[in-house]
Amino acid sequence: MYRSHTCGELRPEQIGQEVTLAGWVHRRRDHGELIFIDLRDRYGITQVVFDSITAQAHDVAESARSEFVLQVRGRVRPRPAEAVNPQIATGAIEVEALDAEVLNPARTPPLYIAQEGNEDEALRLKYRYLDLRRERMQRNLVLRHRVIKFMRDFLDQEGFLEIETPILIKSTPEGARDYLVPSRVHPSKFYALPQSPQQLKQLLMVAGYDRYFQIARCFRDEDLRADRQPEFTQLDMEMSFVDQEDVIQLLERLFSELCRAVVPERRLITPFPRLTYAEALERYGSDKPDLRYGLELINLSDLLTETPFQVFKGALERGGQVKGLRIPGCAGYTRKQLDELTEIARIGGARGLAWALLSADGGDLRSSLRKISAQARWTR
């Protein structure tokens, strides 16, 4: 075997044991007679010490560079008290190298693996196999694995069956365009990749499979947007003989228990707050508001019934409303900061930004509309 233990496995209980590790050179520190190499795999990092007394292993360490793949046989020993590293799970021990072998040398990588850089995303994607070695990317993949595993286990306990549906199906009219795949067996015919296997889900429901789910791969031939991409994964779940409340309660329990099991450090508010569509639009102007900010829209229509400002006046005369955001702590904003907010509003599609600033001590009112709306009834 190439290894007897992973690089994140060794603990003080293994002190005195002879072990074999294999992994990538994460960091290398050359002190002449002693060379320290942090050996890394996806399970963690172990510090390996190469002493010049063990000439063969020391020669290998001298030639090794960042991202070389090494196999090291050595003996586990405790670190000196002043060298213990509480930041890593293996920080109480180190491995004294007895012999070593370069399994694969490496060129100088175009990305820093040991730390996050500010590289262009195109470079990260070009060298994706290097980017995926980074700790953050590995954490992301582990988190995804744990989330999907938890959903499978939870839904299995709730009586759901996981059933796969075909990827190549007949194209059916839906909201987005399908990707088309030409058929070699049937010339001039095409399969479609599913956006979401709606008809197949309905088929299973009619067939009597009252609780079904799948971790479905979906495809949409659409232009990229901030919240949309051509290929994605979703939890498809169907239930028969239930009403809306049954579905809501099941999903709330799923997400609540998932967070407690997978990311217990995250704060989760339960029961979930509920807003109707109309209430969400009235209070936040969106059907998917981010409640963490607490920035609710305030209806100013009654205060502006006599405003001379034509933009507000015209909106009210057409039966519309005038709303604003009350943001505590921003009364001291400079003109430059207000101009930056105005530009953000324009980028979001607005023609401009009307603002009014009033300090907590009741000082003078500053407003972009003060000259126009001197007769309006401003209020705190």
How far apart CA 135 and CA 300 sit, in angstroms, is 49
Tell me how many degrees the CA angle 207-209-213 measures, rounded to the nearest 5: 130
The SS3 call for residue 298 is strand
Tell me if the domain spanning 12-104 has CATH number 2.40.50.140. Answer: yes
Class of domain 138-262: alpha beta
Tens place of pLDDT per residue across the chain (380 aa): 899 999 999 999 999 999 999 999 999 999 999 999 999 999 999 999 999 999 999 999 999 999 999 999 999 999 999 999 999 999 999 999 999 999 999 999 999 998 887 889 999 999 999 999 999 999 999 999 999 999 999 999 999 999 998 888 888 777 778 899 999 999 999 998 887 667 888 899 999 999 999 998 888 888 888 777 888 899 999 999 999 999 999 999 999 999 999 999 988 888 999 999 999 999 998 898 988 888 898 888 888 888 788 888 888 888 888 888 888 888 888 889 988 988 998 998 887 888 888 887 767 778 877 655 544 444 43
Closest of 79, 12, 17 to residue 48, by C-alpha:
79
Task: Report domain extents, the chain.
Answer: 12-104, 138-262, 275-380
* Topology alike, domains 12-104 and 275-380: no
Residue with tokens 């694995």: 145
Domain 275-380 indexed as CATH 3.20.20.70: no
Query: What CA–CA distance (Å, rounded) separates 236 from 288?
Result: 20
In angstroms, the CA 77 to CA 56 distance is 20
